[in-house]
Amino acid sequence: MEVVKTITEVRSLVKSAREQGKTIGLVPTMGALHVGHISLIERSVRDGCFTVVSIFVNPTQFTPGEDFEKYPRSLNTDLKICKDNKVDLVFVPTAEEVYGKEMLTWVNVEKLTEPLCGKFRPGHFRGVTTICAKLFNIVIPDVAYFGQKDAQQAIVIKKMVADLNMPLEIIACPTVREPNGLAVSSRNQYLSPDERKDAACLYNALQRCEQMAKSGITHTPQLIAEMRKIIEAAPTVKQIDYIEIVDTHSLQPLEKITDKALLALAVKIGATRLIDNILIDTTS
Amino acid sequence: MEVVKTITEVRSLVKSAREQGKTIGLVPTMGALHVGHISLIERSVRDGCFTVVSIFVNPTQFTPGEDFEKYPRSLNTDLKICKDNKVDLVFVPTAEEVYGKEMLTWVNVEKLTEPLCGKFRPGHFRGVTTICAKLFNIVIPDVAYFGQKDAQQAIVIKKMVADLNMPLEIIACPTVREPNGLAVSSRNQYLSPDERKDAACLYNALQRCEQMAKSGITHTPQLIAEMRKIIEAAPTVKQIDYIEIVDTHSLQPLEKITDKALLALAVKIGATRLIDNILIDTTS
């Protein structure tokens, strides 16, 4: 496994791999790797890719007041995880290497970045799409792997790739969960034992909503009220940013579930903001 | 020479050329090809490239009230010019092929798109950078050729390519001029014989400014006043959008010319808006 810090090195190593006829798979991460990231790496390796993992805590996707400074960083552990999981190349750039002296160019996806987390994290998705555009141009992967846990992010990136005709495929992989249902996230490290226990309420609420919808209760205000009740019952829940039931393509709120829907929520448990979601289909 | 309308065909033909070890050169155009475009094609062919010309009158770079509808279209002549000049592949897509059903993603370069033409054509450069990003992702060229006549465009595109780490080189080629000095442009077709004669004032003014600057007159307000005087003396000059002397990197106005400078102007001659510029260096 190679570990490199510069764009030039990445390009040269990827070029060699491509000349050997290999397909290039990219797993973009902010480090603090966990079983969710490992599932993406495993998928890339299983797909037979020359697997590139980028580790970069991207400052432009944090909004002022968020946890950029204290975001968990654990490079040595991350590199061990990469090596154990057969990663071929790890790209660990500095912010200077990525953004240079004066960054003036931004990629923005309209509409899809406005609801859900877009309302609460202004500029976040612009930071995400821009860093992904850069990483795609640096690594030039055939496939990039993202977690379905960040559902809106996956949808926004797929739209960017389609709209700008970027020559790669985006694969969104299933959310990995802890035994109590909590979606695995680097930010789960922030939770106290009580908070982690309470955080199970998020997936419980999503599952309850799916059950109800499949049993024929399709009017979304009623479903949302039920999810809210379940979540508010957890003692350490501090604030609900949103609980929404939206169209899986437009991300616009649905009044009624007729077939597919994305159930998505963002909730502060103690001081930690967690997101979760499930895709449901009441016809299947 | 192949002429194709779809992205799939472009990708497949470029892929074959690349597999034969060829370098890919792209000349993006809006058609109405003239000796300026031909100079770009010749450069690409001379550089040994598999030369791709795109012909697409890009609606998103015209602002409301501009000449999108009446912009000159001459596909048959354009294809003959391409063939005569050894182009390998011409891409002539429809707007639907390029933009699909719902385009939500835009690439924006800040700051550099605000002065000069940016002030008078809101959204123009966003349209230019986005279509170029798309064409670069469709064709995946090693080099793309632009005219120095659109100086701000060339600077903006170079910045986009650098900022987003796009894996290609941008080459800006010298402005081609008619015998009277008028910069060749598809929009010159709009000019009456009198207007075309008068339009020589633009290059005359730029040259006079260079002479003065090289003779030691470096205070820009005086230089701009002199250019204005020359241009206003032409009877069919209707309106001066701007005459500016700016830094060649930041495009911000200079108070004094110390070495390099971009002299740039946009002037309406009759109903036709023309732009022109020269790069000067008083130290050489």
Helix axes B35-46, B75-84, angle to 10 degrees: 30
Domain chopping of chain B, boundaries: 2-173, 186-281
Q: Which of A7, A105, A160 sits opposite B109 (nearest CB)?
A: A105
Phi-psi region of B200 (alpha: psi -120 to 50; beta: other; left: phi over 0): alpha
Amino acid at A93: P
Q: pLDDT grade, residue B284 (50/70/90)? A: confident
Report how many Cβ contacts below 8 Å link chain A to chain B: 74
A36-80 pLDDT, tens per residue?
Answer: 999 999 999 999 999 999 999 999 999 999 999 999 999 999 999
Taking residue A20's Cβ as centre, other Cβ atoms within 10 Å add up to 8
Determine the topology of domain B186-281 in CATH. Pantoate--beta-alanine Ligase; Chain: A,domain 2 (3.30.1300)
Tell me the average pLDDT across A8-28: 98
B164-201 pLDDT, tens per residue?
Answer: 999 999 999 999 999 999 999 999 999 999 999 999 99
Taking residue A259's Cβ as centre, other Cβ atoms within 10 Å add up to 11
* Residue B37 designated active-site: yes
Determine the topology of domain A186-279 in CATH. Pantoate--beta-alanine Ligase; Chain: A,domain 2 (3.30.1300)
| DSSP 8-state secondary structure symbol assigned to residue B46 | H
ipTM, two decimals? 0.97
DSSP string, A165-194: T-SSEEEEEPPPB-TTSPBP-GGGGG--HH
| DSSP 8-state secondary structure symbol assigned to residue B102 | -
Structural Rg of chain B based on CA atoms: 19
Residues of B in contact with A112 (CB under 8 A): 104
Per-residue buried b or exposed e for A226-243, using 16+ beta carbons within 10 Å of the residue's own CB:
bbeebbeebebbeeebbb
Nearest alpha carbon to residue B1 among B91, B74, B75: B91
Nearest alpha carbon to residue A118 among A259, A254, A272, A246: A246
B142-174 pLDDT, tens per residue?
Answer: 999 999 999 999 999 999 999 999 999 999 999
Q: Report the SS3 class of residue A145.
A: strand
CATH class of residue range B2-173: alpha beta
Q: Is the pLDDT of residue A284 over 90?
A: no
* Angle at CA of residue B213, ends B208 and B217, nearest 5°: 110
Rounded to the nearest angstrom, the minimum Cα separation between B11 and chain A is 10
**Residue A96: CA count within 13 A, CB half-sphere:** 1
A118-156 pLDDT, tens per residue?
Answer: 999 999 999 999 999 999 999 999 999 999 999 999 999
Q: Report the SS3 class of residue B94.
A: coil
Taking residue B262's Cβ as centre, other Cβ atoms within 10 Å add up to 20
Closest-CA residue in chain A for B132? A164
